Amino acid sequence: MSSNASHAARFRQLHAAGLLLLPNAWDAGSARLIESLGAKAIATTSAGVAWANGYADGDQLPVAQLVATAASIARVIAIPLSVDVEGGYSDDPATVADNVVRLAGNGVVGINLEDGAGAPELLCAKIERIKRECAQRGLEVYVNARTDVYLRGLAPAGERVEPTLARAAQYRDAGADGLFVPGLTEADDIGAVAARAGMPLNVMLRPNLPDTATLESLGVRRLSAGSNLSEEAFAHTRAGAREFLRSGRSPASTDAMGYGAINGLFADR
């Protein structure tokens, strides 16, 4: 079995039961660190990857930079890799599929692909083209279709379950493997979507999200950290740099890993 096929099969299996916790990475270093802590798979945060490469989030990152980041992550980890491709960096399904094929050729076995404010039919066309182009090349990619009904308030509060499920049905019929609904936090809504989506449900970490045991009991199969870890890394770096610029010293901290521990993560990579 090829590396793509074995990692793709493992990634799909991780969504079959239980709750997959995905702490999102933004570069090879963060991915390797997360892997060393016992993560079963690595997913990227589009925001974190964009920021690490000097771009704003929101389809601003050049595809070449994304592919290079994915390849560098795949080089240092031995677990499945999923990449957030935002809207695919194009409205043309053929271009989006080509972008995903490039990623799959560099070790990626899963993607997040979002509808944003666009029409569901456009995302369906992208999914269909991705699945067709990957199949023709013997590549397997788990397509996690993200709908922003909750995140963008595309339907009134209290009336978002049915529009979400309607989109889920369209995306499932187009070939999507999973459903990602960021902004979905209410237990009743989570349970309803999980029960009727017909695909593994992925939610994103939010302060008012139920705990992991409750999420699993509601039928959620995947919990993503989103950009949270990247934001925290920026905050720690800001605090340390601010103190250094003020005093020429680093903040007193017992949390620093140390040179040897960090260097050791990459000794055999």
Give the pLDDT of residue 251: 79
Give the pLDDT of residue 3: 72
In order of 23, 44, 129, the CA distances from 132 in angstroms are: 30, 24, 5
- 193 closest CA partner among 224, 150, 154, 251: 150
Give the pLDDT of residue 256: 83
Give the pLDDT of residue 4: 84
Give the pLDDT of residue 250: 84
Sheet order of strands, 220-224 included: 20-22, 220-224, 201-204, 178-180, 142-146, 110-114, 81-84, 42-43
Write out residues in the chain with pLDDT < 50, as ranges. Answer: none
Per the CB < 8 A criterion, the answer to whether 35 and 42 are in contact is yes
- Tell me: the pLDDT tens digits for 136-160? 999 999 999 999 999 999 999 999 9
Give the pLDDT of residue 1: 53
pTM of the predicted model as reported, rounded to 2 decimal places: 0.95
